[in-house]
Structure 1
């Protein structure tokens, strides 16, 4: 029902945006044929927006005017605000159209463009965010950057019209200063952070000590407000505990996971997490819900349940997986990018409640009881006297709570729903494929595994293409089953390859191993950097302007793992399956950049540290050989349930040689067998599931008796 509703809304947006080119004030808006929902949101603006590309900068050069690069995304609340205040204003638009070439960029469709100008914005202002407002020369070099600008001066912040007038005047009267400044900024953007050394336990231990100093023991998470879900850091902590048994690591992970699950950032009715909490106690979220956050958190909660047996972690993983299928799945079987924060013109209107609303839906007794359990107060925890639902304490009657949740959820379905950004992004769908494949196996949910398989098949059919040199190439995104023109970046190749490998580990279908290998071969050939690491963009598909300003090698995690760390993870898994030293060496080289910042900024290197844990553990490789029968399935289930960091599993028929980890593995005494290897050393095969559990538990941070 919800997915169909989202598709109907998307269809309305498409008919509104694509069917015509609207002219306001005599100016044609050139976004009407865009595929990005975010760009289509601006197709009615009187601003003469142009899509990113060489044509925009050629126009700026011929007119001898600077370029305004405005970057945002469909679920961005303040992007909508600035659009309404400034880009829909006729006078502001007239000034923009006369003095600038105006380029509108969807950061989710062009992360390479976003990364370049975000680096410049952070360097020039000390902070960053969206909407991002950047002024560049006709060759793309930034010379003035900012984020949101109000229509009138507020708290010392200049108005947008003041900024426009100042930039236009500077370009006209102080051209030399502007161009010199732009040149200096471009040179600074090209600088590289120092690379780390060989992976060793010392780097991990030092990073953990640094992370612990920022841990909020009272409320969970790291640092203060606002708090973003530290998905990659939590995965690292779970792996570190599995490898070493470190009590501090698991305590920080569990406290944070529990706090996020109980707070308002988690949708207590339907599952799924909002983008972040505006406060330090996880009470009030910024309500947009992103595919990448929920795919990453689904996998983390799944791994937490696997490690600790926590019923709450299992429930959150199950509900989040179901939310992905219910709310983000597209007609083609991929997954949409996000749900907006706003509905009815107000942020959070879909999610917030008052005590009176609860009583209206549930009756006086259940309504009053639910208000106490779910943290709905008379003065409200949010705005307009409304509260965000929380779950600070577990009630004595959980069955009653489940019934209340179901009734509230059914009533909420009658509210106007937030808009959905239905473009399908390659890398984020790769994250979803990996999470759903593992969830299907560990939770015994064939429907989740089926969803992962369908999404992976859609990616392979629609997002993967063949280049002239025969290499497998990814497009960044598609919409309505039609691939876009923006090329995939490193994170796309890495996450899609990792999703394919995860799906192969669960299904035993070697075609996914082959497909991942083709993508990773493209990474090794076309993303290689001069220092031995990996670039974020392919050498033959980099946008001319982006490539001129900065050859991207960003080592830091953002909302998703850094491209280098993600590639290291996929390369390491593939290396173990293929027995390829070439891929393992590439994985270790890719980690050098991210690990170079790990000891100083561990929160920005969680993904790299998680891969480092896998390297330090071996990683653990398990080949399960046998015909598809209960005995083989029992061995396979135990293998998938292992907490070993970077666990690599292959399953197949005897005599199979793809992936090579299965090669020359035979039945033992006519029975299915499991072969365990670690750090280039293999144990004797076993046909007994309990014995396999003992093997996988050795030196993994827990006594063997706790594994069964």
Structure 2
């Protein structure tokens, strides 16, 4: 390992500087013979002084092909010598610097038509890209040049055709700047008709036979499922509920779901959800916990509840760090082999369980001698629940213990603000909805640590590692997701302190990320953040909700929970933001699932439920939390204790619930039955 380098850039010329990084991904490359630098002005200045291009490599710790390229090329002394001689080499963790990833991924897609990780970009010393790609193999194959051939070609072009390089970089940069415009406003009214059409368009792409939307590879459509559940609660549509249930059950029973330890892998490589890409991401599991817990509340599904419980257990057991926050991911590989920890043969089941239980488990979990994965191994599935549930629980426990003795995938311990915000929201929301106070407390522990560690001089940072916060500034989704988490904790606990801290984050976002020229539009980086070749903004929902749709949720919740002066400001900003999301709902619903979820809440009111209590247990409040539709703001406590309970007393010595839709309120009710009737109107 090298010595720690101060600051984010900290270029130390002629050696590898990654040993002092706060990113586990960068530290994985600290022993490479490549003279890797961290991103920063020092590294770019060194490229200018040497008059060489920048080789920018972007990836993340749980990325399988990132590990492959590292082993083939970055650990190879001859390849490293070529890189060091002709380039300034910069390594970036996309999870720590999503702004850089967004800029150069857009360049990669614009020039090649596709993107992915590892991302390999060649830049001028002014950081303008002129050639982009993804993984390059050690030896040429399938029409793809070897990595060394590419390095030699780029070096020759830089030396002999510099004008062509500069023309290309200027053209790409201008294209990126032109493409980064604001979404139009006023495309159509945001109403029930628009949302019904959006959901109908999504269902056209549904794989009715196998669950999910589109073909292989299949990613968990977490945000879209949450949005569609809210559509069900607004419309009562049985067909939409069937779509949600079909996909949720297919994922839960497939190999993408860890049948032994809980939690979900990143995606399935096949259309049947059987073989996963084995990395397990915090952001996927946080969103899926929210979906399954919501589905269980709405439908009473025992499977959905069991999956929610196992997913929460996975988060708390396998991803929770010593600080109380959550690590980013478990690696796709174990000892360089993908799936080594998770795959089984029938013989291995028998060895772990004995003959009778081993044969029974093989039939139950779809493990055969032919195998569903590689070399005759199988990924565990659960096509149907067993008749003998106690036997299954015993078998599951024994297999989990046996698997725990195998080599385990590495964990990326980096704590990312936005993804922990998603986990806070999911744990707090699921906790109050299903009577799990331990989940709520875990969410609160995480929130306290983030506020103590990631807020530095009043401004939010993106990530930390081992209690050391990184230099990278937080982006829009960090502010929005954490604010939503704090607002959810405010609802779960009635503690006004969470609301105050959320106000700070929402105000920071409004002051530093809102587009001053286009109301309702947002940049993903702050107005005082590092200046890149273009200021990124991407309103499309991807593996995580976009910063803009996340901000719409935070603003909508903050408006519902705040005093009138703040509520008016936040509500206007939420409406303007959702107005900008209309084109995505019209034309790209599969990339607008979180927009759908927030829009459904807006079209319903938004709905607020304030339950005035005497400060003790309240059947009325419990019912509101268990039965309120997704996205409804629910707060309980003593009258006047928080803004939503201002001037809302108990009635005749009884707890009272006040249900409002927007600015229109029902008469207060004092019985659970009357409350449920009010919520279903």
Query: So what's the TM-score if we normalise by structure 1?
Result: 0.92
Structure 2 spans left out of the alignment, 5+ residues? 7-12
Q: Confirm or deny that 1:446 pairs with 2:446.
A: no
**Is residue 238 of structure 2 the alignment partner of residue 247 of structure 1?**
yes
Q: Does 1:566 align with 2:553?
A: no
Match of 2:454?
463
Give the distance between the partners of 2:524 and 2:592, measured in 1 at CA: 20
The aligned runs of 1:113-128 (5 Å cut-off) are 113-128=100-115
SS in 2 for 1:50: coil
- Alignment-derived partner of residue 508 in structure 1: 494
Partner of 1:53: 40
CA shift for structure 1 position 19:
7.8
| Partners of 2:182 and 2:518 within 8 A in 1 | no
Aligned partners of 1:602 and 1:406: how far apart in 2?
40
Q: How big is the shift at 1:590?
A: 2.0
Counterpart of 1:494 in structure 2 is 480
Is 1:649 the counterpart of 2:649? The answer is no
Distance in 2, matches of 1:664 and 1:336, equals 42
2:126 to 103, 124, 139: 139
Q: What is the aligned partner in structure 1 of residue 9 from structure 2?
A: none
Are 2:251 and 1:260 equivalent residues in the alignment? Answer: yes
Q: Is the counterpart of residue 522 in structure 1 residue 508 in structure 2?
A: yes
What is the alpha-carbon distance in structure 2 between the residues aligned to residue 598 and residue 193 of structure 1? 16
**1:527 to partner: Cα distance:** 0.6
SS in 1 for 2:398: helix
The 5 A counterparts of 1:168-207 are 168-190=155-177, 191=179, 192=181, 194-197=183-186, 198-207=189-198
Match of 2:95 in 1: 108
TM-score, normalising length: structure 2: 0.96
Corresponding residue SS for 1:550: coil
Q: Partner of 1:635 in structure 2?
A: 620
Counterparts of 1:220 and 1:524 in 2: how far apart (Å)? 39
1:193 positional shift: 5.8
Q: Distance in 1 between matches of 2:551 and 2:42?
A: 32
Instruction: Write the mapping of 1:192-591 to structure 2, written as runs, cut at 5 A.
Output: 192=181, 194-197=183-186, 198-466=189-457, 472-529=458-515, 530-544=517-531, 546=532, 549-578=533-562, 579=564, 580-591=567-578
SS in 1 for 2:650: coil
Q: Is the 8 A contact 1:526 1:539 kept in 2?
A: yes
Could you tell me how far 1:443 is from its partner in structure 2?
2.1
> Can you list the C-alpha shifts for 1:48-73, whole angstroms capped at 9, x where unaligned?
10001111111111111111110000
SS of residue paired to 2:438 = helix
Counterpart-to-counterpart distance in 2, 1:36 and 1:272: 24
- Structure 2 equivalent of residue 4 of structure 1: none
Q: Partner of 1:690: helix, strand, or coil?
A: helix
Give distance in 2, aligned partners of 1:576 and 1:681.
12
Matched residue, 2:679 = 696
* Partners of 1:196 and 1:597 within 8 A in 2: no
User: Partner of 1:641: helix, strand, or coil?
Assistant: helix
Q: Aligned partners of 2:604, 2:4: CA distance in 1, in Å?
A: 56
Residues 1:684 and 2:667 aligned together: yes
Q: Is the 8 A contact 2:607 2:661 kept in 1?
A: yes
Label 1:17 to 1:426 Cα distance change in 2 as closer, same or farther (>3 A): farther
Task: Give 1:180 shift.
Answer: 1.4
* Cα offsets for 1:257-293 (capped at 9, x unmatched): 0000000000000100000000011000000000000
| Equivalent residue number for residue 10 of structure 2 | none
- The Cα of 1:196 is off from its aligned counterpart by 4.7
CA distance in 2, matches of 1:152, 1:643: 58
For residues 267 and 661 of structure 2, what CA distance do their matches in structure 1 show?
A: 38
Partners of 2:594 and 2:155 in 1: CA distance: 42
How far apart, CA to CA, are the structure 1 residues paired with 2:459 and 2:628? 33
1:675 equivalent to 2:658? Answer: yes
Matched, 1:63 2:47: no
Deviations 1:227-259 (A, max 9, x none): 000001000100011011222321111100000
The question of whether the paired residues in 1 share the 8 Å contact of 2:513 and 2:527 is answered with no
8 Å CA contact 1:27–1:46 kept in 2: the answer is: no
Contact 1:242 1:643 in 2 (8 A): no
Task: Spell out, residue by residue over 1:561-608, the C-alpha distance to the aligned partner (whole angstroms, 9 max, x if none).
Answer: 000000000100101111412111211222344332222221101111
Moved more, 643-652 or 364-373: 643-652
Q: Distance in 2 between matches of 1:589 and 1:79?
A: 40
Alignment of 1:145-184 (within 5 A): 145-184=132-171
Pairwise CA distance, 1:375: 0.7
Over residues 383-428 of structure 1, what are the superposed CA-to-partner deviations in whole Å (9 max), with x where a residue is unaligned? 1211000011222212211111011001111111111100111010
Where does structure 1 lack aligned partners over 5 or more consecutive residues? 1-15, 467-471, 699-708
Deviation at 1:536, TM superposition (A): 3.6
> Does the residue aligned with 1:28 lie in a helix, a strand or coil?
coil
What is the distance in 1 between the residues matched to 2:504 and 2:277?
39
Contact 1:613 1:645 in 2 (8 A): no
Task: Name the SS for the 1:406 alignment partner.
Answer: helix
Report the aligned-residue RMSD. 1.6
8 Å Cα contact 1:617/1:645 also seen in 2: no
Which is worse superposed, 591-600 or 436-445? 591-600
Out of 251-260 and 527-536, give the one that drifted further. 527-536
Secondary structure of the corresponding residue to residue 478 of structure 1: strand
Shift of 1:495: 0.5
Write out per-residue CA displacement over residues 532-579 of structure 1, whole angstroms, 9 at most, x where no aligned residue: 2343444444222x2xx2222201111100000000001001011114
SS of 2:536's partner is coil
State the distance in 1 between where 2:350 and 2:435 align.
37
